Amino acid sequence: METVPTEYWDDLVEDLKDPEFLRAYITESLRVETIDRLVNDLDEARTALGLSKAELARAISAEPAVIRRLLSTGHRNPTIGTVAEVAAALGYKVALVPMEDSEREAYAETLRSGAAKDPEELARMVEDKRAAIAI
Query: Residue 67: which of 76, 75, 56, 77 has the closest Cα?
Result: 56
Tell me: the pLDDT tens digits for 64-80? Answer: 999 999 998 877 789 99
The pLDDT assigned to 5 comes to 66
Q: What is the pTM of this model?
A: 0.81
Tell me: the pLDDT tens digits for 120-129? Answer: 889 888 888 8
pLDDT band at 1 (very low <50, low <70, confident <90, very high): very low
Tell me the domain boundaries of the chain. 6-130
Query: Residue 112: which of 11, 28, 29, 26 has the closest Cα?
Result: 26
| DSSP characters over 13-68 | HHHTTSHHHHHHHHHHHHHHHHHHHHHHHHHHHHHHHT--HHHHHHHTT--HHHHH
CATH number of 6-130: 1.10.260
Measured distance CA(62)–CA(79) in Å, rounded: 14
Residue 52 phi, psi dihedral angles, 5° rounding: -80, 165
Tell me: the pLDDT tens digits for 19-66? Answer: 999 999 999 999 988 998 999 999 999 999 999 999 999 999 999 999
